[in-house]
A = this chain, B = another copy of it.
Amino acid sequence: MNESLRENPYSALQRVFHEPSRLAIMSALGGAAEGLSFTELKEQCNLTDGNLSRHLKTLDEAGVVDIDKRFVGARPRTTVFLTDVGRESFVEYLGALEAALQRAAEAMAAESPSFNLLGGLTEPL
């Protein structure tokens, strides 16, 4: 992780990805090389049509997702992908989030010796 991020991770959290629903959308797309349909995304992220549309518009305007609308036979089908820029900047955002979380965990641990927040993160992926 770069040093300035570790010094001040908070500035990098002023981002399109920090909104919780958009974090969920980016995570879902991050694991889907083939993209996800609007319906899959809606279900995985537990969002309404309206909310998902609104957040996708924001992400599309930021250039971090591509939205592909086409007809498959007579039915319209929307597929959403991460762009390369989206993947790269999301990874950078996650690094800032990690730095912020680590800093908070260290602070809390210093005052509560039994505090063990990072237990989950030390499990192997």
The reply to whether B125 and A109 contact each other, CB–CB distance below 8 Å, is: yes
| Residue A70, interface by CB 8 Å | no
| Residue A16, interface by CB 8 Å | no
The reply to whether B94 and A104 contact each other, CB–CB distance below 8 Å, is: yes
Taken residue by residue from 74 to 108, chain A's Cβ proximity to chain B (1 for < 8 Å, 0 otherwise) reads as 00000000000001001100110111111111111
What count of chain A residues pass the 8 Å CB interface test?
49
The reply to whether A104 and B26 contact each other, CB–CB distance below 8 Å, is: yes
Residues from chain B with Cβ under 8 Å of A10 in the complex: 20-21, 23-24, 45-46
| Interface SS majority for chain A | helix
The reply to whether A20 and B21 contact each other, CB–CB distance below 8 Å, is: no
What distance in Å separates the Cβ of A11 from its nearest Cβ neighbour in chain B?
A: 8
16 residue pairs from A and B, CB less than 8 Å apart: A11-B20, A14-B20, A27-B104, A30-B111, A31-B108, A31-B110, A32-B107, A32-B111, A33-B111, A91-B108, A91-B112, A91-B117, A102-B121, A106-B125, A118-B121, A122-B122
Given A91-B112, A94-B101, 12 other A-B contacts at CB below 8 A?
A: A1-B119, A8-B46, A10-B45, A13-B20, A13-B23, A27-B100, A31-B110, A87-B108, A91-B108, A94-B108, A109-B125, A121-B121
